[in-house]
Amino acid sequence: MRLLVLGGTEFVGRALAEDGVARGWDVTVFNRGTRPAPEGAEVALGDRLAPEGGLAALAEGEWDIVADTWIGAPRAVRDTARLLEPRVGRYVYVSSRSVYAPPPVAGMNEDSPTVDASPDADSVDYPADKRGGELAALREFGDRALFARAGIILGPHENIGRLPWWLRRMERGGPVLAPGPRDLPMQWIDARDLAAWCLDAAEHGLGGAHDTVSVSGHTTMEGFLEACRAAVDSDAELVWADPRTVLAAGVDPFTELPMWFPPGEVHDMLYRSDTGRARAAGLRCRPVTETVADTLAWLRGLPAEADPLGIPHPAGSGVRRPGVPAEKEEAVLRVVRGGE
C-alpha cells in the first residue's frame, strides 16, 4: 500500500505516518519541513497556502490512500483533493465533531445537522473550516472520501497540551484541584487508535462520515485523574470539588482544567455522543492507563525547549493553551478545604 500523509509531522498526522510505516507500507509525508518526519517516511516538501507552486512536489505519483489533517482554509483541501483525485484511491480527511451545528445535545451522531460551510472558503472558524474541508474532499472524491470526525484526541506527541498539563501538574505534587463529579463520563480517542482505524477503514474501502471517539464513559473524571496521579511518582493528592464551587471561583471549564466540562450542554455534546457507527466499523480504543503512561514517557523524553506546553497552537485551531494559574487553583482549594 502507498500512503500519502498531508502533514504528518506533529501529532495525528505523525501517528498516521508511523502506523503506515509499521505496516510495511510506502509512506510519504507532505509539509513545509519545519519538523523532522517520522522515521521510514519519504518527505515531499511544499506549502499548501503558497499562491503558486506550493503543490509542485505532488504533481506526480500515485497513492492508494491520502490522509489529510488540514486545519484552516478549506480551499487548501480543495486544491490537494482536486490535484490528487485521478491518482489516488481514497481520501481520508481527519475532521472533528465540531462540525455539528448548535445547540449541543447528548446523542449527536453522523446524522446530526452540520454548520454551514463552503469548500472554496478562506479560513472562517474551526467548525466551518473542518466542515468546508469535508465538503472539498467530498466534491472531488464522492464515496471514496472518508471523514474521521474525532472527539478530543490524546496520546504521545499531543500538540494541544491537555494531558501533558495534567501530568505536569501531578508531577508538581501537593493538593491538586480535582473537578467533579468523580463519575463524570468522558470520551476521547488516542491518536494511535484514530490512525489505526483510519488506515484500516480506508484499506477496506469505507467512505462517509464517522464519529471517531471512544464510547461515553470509556473513563470518568476520577478514572482519568487517578490514572494521571498513579503514573507520576509524586505526593499529588486529589482534592475533589463540586462543579458549582469550581465555576463560582471563575475557573474556565476545559481550558483551565483541561478535559473537564461540568454536567450540562457542552458536556452532553462532547462526552455523551453516539459513536456506534465507528465502533461497528472496527474502532477500538485502548485503556486510559496506556494513553497516560505512553504520553508521560514521551513527555519525559522531550528536550525542555520542545515541551508541548511551550509551543504555539496549530494555526486556526482556536484553542487556548490549557492550564489553571496556581493562585486560582489555590483559591478554590482554600474554599473546598474550608468547607470540609
Ligand X SMILES: NC(=O)c1ccc[n+]([C@@H]2O[C@H](COP(=O)([O-])OP(=O)(O)OC[C@H]3O[C@@H](n4cnc5c(N)ncnc54)[C@H](OP(=O)(O)O)[C@@H]3O)[C@@H](O)[C@H]2O)c1
Give 53's contacts (C-beta < 8 A, 6+ positions apart).
Answer: none
- Site membership for ligand X, residue 33 (CB under 6 A): yes
Which residue in 18, 66, 69, 223 binds ligand X (CB under 6 A)?
69
User: For ligand X, how many residues bind (rule: CB under 6 A)?
Assistant: 27
- Shorter beta-carbon distance to ligand X: residue 151 or 207: 151
Using rule CB under 6 A, residue 255 touches ligand X:
no
Is residue 7 a contact point for ligand X (CB under 6 A)? Answer: yes
- In sequence order, what E strands does the chain have? 2-6, 26-31, 42-45, 63-68, 88-96, 145-150, 153-154, 175-179, 185-186, 189-190, 208-212, 219-220, 237-241
Considering the rule CB under 6 A, would residue 31 count as an interface residue with ligand X? yes
Q: Rule CB under 6 A: say whether 75 interacts with ligand X.
A: no
Q: Which residue is it, cell 492508494?
A: 64
187 lines the binding site for ligand X (CB under 6 A) = no
274 binds ligand X (CB under 6 A): no
Decide if residue 308 touches ligand X (CB under 6 A): no
Question: Residue 9's CB: how many other CB atoms inside 10 A?
Answer: 22
Give the CB-nearest residue to ligand X.
13
Decide if residue 216 touches ligand X (CB under 6 A).
Answer: no
Span interacting with ligand X, options 44-52, 57-65, 81-89, 273-281, rule CB under 6 A = 44-52
Residues of this chain, 102-161, that bind ligand X according to CB under 6 A: 130, 150, 152-153, 159-160
Q: Measure CA 298 to chain center.
A: 17
Least spacing, CB of residue 302 vs ligand X, in Å: 16
User: Measured from the CB of residue 117, what is the shortest distance to ligand X in angstroms?
Assistant: 14
The answer to whether the beta carbons of residues 68 and 91 sit under 8 Å apart is yes
Task: Based on DSSP, count helices (H) and strands (E) in the chain, helices before strands.
Answer: 11, 13
**Number of neighbours of residue 325 by Cβ within 10 angstroms:** 10
Torsion of CA 291, 297, 299, 302, to 10 degrees: -140
Residue 40 CA to residue 35 CA, distance in Å, equals 15
Which residue type occupies 264?
Answer: G
Query: Of 29 and 336, which has the nearer Cβ to ligand X?
Result: 29
Give the interface with ligand X as residue ranges (CB under 6 A). 7-14, 31-35, 47-49, 69, 71, 94, 96, 130, 150, 152-153, 159-160, 314
